[in-house]
């Protein structure tokens, strides 16, 4: 009888919650992606067309002889500048991808700014709709920069668009997630296939937890590290491979961390894991002291 009552109570609770269909808003997705993709290729396409039409075809493909190609200024420009034209055109394409994404991003932030909190999915709202739009807008730019010949420019993309804040000297390897709501300090390294997610869905089509992730200076994450929303990693932290932090964890810093959830690693565990000696640990400690002394000297100046 008690089990039947509990089942009835849960069914009553589920029925009492007002459910709404998610607004798919395909027209906004098509507009955002269409303008970003098409406009970003217009100017590079014009440059390549002009080069091919007025230099490459007449002075290289239609040249009377090979000697003419390498003896005239037009022939030399037509033959040797082709790779340079391609690279410049591609960089122009990336710039317009970032510029148009920033344009749409600012419009969405003006309507409903990004902020920490829980976004209900059973209540239609501007916050929910714009959250989905922003998540979609940043996907193609991130793919275009990461999968292209200049993946290191993704840091500039994030800072230019304003979806993330990446400090000077920090390096971001290819990873999943980490496309918005991430704040990283100076001289930090984010390892390969790490997952920094400032948003998480609670269950299947449940509420969205959106909280920014903050990473301090001189933080090193190795590989396959998963960081949940609201996590704060303070300065001089070292995350060993396959370590993960659950929501709203705060790491004090100046230490090694391992496991899921993250916890401090003692020196013996670090030595066994990395297969290093006590002399190596002493060298690392001396380097830390030198860095601190240099920072103190800079602050004094």
21 pLDDT tier (thresholds 50, 70, 90): low
**Which pLDDT score, from 0 to 100, does residue 267 have?**
67
Tens of pLDDT, residue by residue over 133-176, are 999 999 999 999 998 899 999 999 999 999 999 999 999 988 87
Closest to 101 measured CA to CA, from 132, 152, 136, 127: 136
15/169: higher pLDDT: 169
Statement: residue 19 has pLDDT above 60: no
Burial group, residue 154, by CB count within 10 angstroms (0-12, 13-18, 19+): buried
Q: Tell me, what's the pLDDT at 188?
A: 94
> Each residue of 115-134: b (16+ CB within 10 Å) or e?
eeeebebeeeeebbbbbbbb
pLDDT at 7: 44
Domain boundaries in the chain?
A: 22-163
- Supply the pLDDT for residue 23: 65
Checking if the pLDDT of 179 tops 90, the result is no
Q: Tell me the pLDDT band of 85, cut-offs 50, 70 and 90.
A: very high
pLDDT of 63: 80
Pairwise pLDDT comparison (300 vs 237), residue with the higher score: 237
Of 210, 209, 212, 177, the residue nearest 193 (C-alpha): 177
Tell me the range of 60-69, 120-129, 271-280 where mean pLDDT is highest: 120-129
Enter the DSSP assignment of 58.
I
In this structure, the strands spanning 213-215 and 182-184 are parallel
CA–CA dist 162, 152 (Å, integer): 17
Adjacent-strand bridge partners of 209? 118, 200
pLDDT the model gives residue 12: 45
- The pLDDT of residue 14: 41
In this prediction, residue 255 carries a pLDDT of: 85
- What rounded mean pLDDT belongs to the chain? 85
The pLDDT assigned to 261 comes to: 84
């Amino acid at each position: 009888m008690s089990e039947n009552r509990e089942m009835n109570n849960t069914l009553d609770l589920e029925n009492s919650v007002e459910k709404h269909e998610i607004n798919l808003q395909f027209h906004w997705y098509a507009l955002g992606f269409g303008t970003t993709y098409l406009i970003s290729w217009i100017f590079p396409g014009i440059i390549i067309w002009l080069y091919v039409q007025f230099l490459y075809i007449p002075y290289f493909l239609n040249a009377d002889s090979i000697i003419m190609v390498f003896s005239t200024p037009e022939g030399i420009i037509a033959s040797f500048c082709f790779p340079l034209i391609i690279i410049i055109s591609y960089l122009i394409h990336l710039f317009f991808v970032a510029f148009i994404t920033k344009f749409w991003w600012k419009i969405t932030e003006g309507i409903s700014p990004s902020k920490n909190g829980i976004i209900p999915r059973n209540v239609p709202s501007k916050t929910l709709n714009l959250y989905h739009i922003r998540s979609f807008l940043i996907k193609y730019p991130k793919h275009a920069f990461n999968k292209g010949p200049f993946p290191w420019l993704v840091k500039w993309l994030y800072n230019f668009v304003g979806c993330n804040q990446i400090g000077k000297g920090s390096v971001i390897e290819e990873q999943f997630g980490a496309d918005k709501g991430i704040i990283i300090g100076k001289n930090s390294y984010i390892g390969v296939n790490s997952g920094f997610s400032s948003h998480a869905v609670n269950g299947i089509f449940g509420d969205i937890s959106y909280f920014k992730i903050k990473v301090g200076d001189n933080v090193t994450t190795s590989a396959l590290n998963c960081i949940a929303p609201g996590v704060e990693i303070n300065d001089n932290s070292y995350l060993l491979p396959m370590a993960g932090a659950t929501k709203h964890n705060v790491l004090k810093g100046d230490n090694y961390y391992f496991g899921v959830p993250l916890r401090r690693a003692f020196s013996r565990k670090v030595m066994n894991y990395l297969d290093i000696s006590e002399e190596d640990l002493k060298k690392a400690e001396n380097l830390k002291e030198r860095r601190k002394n240099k920072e103190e000297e800079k602050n004094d100046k």
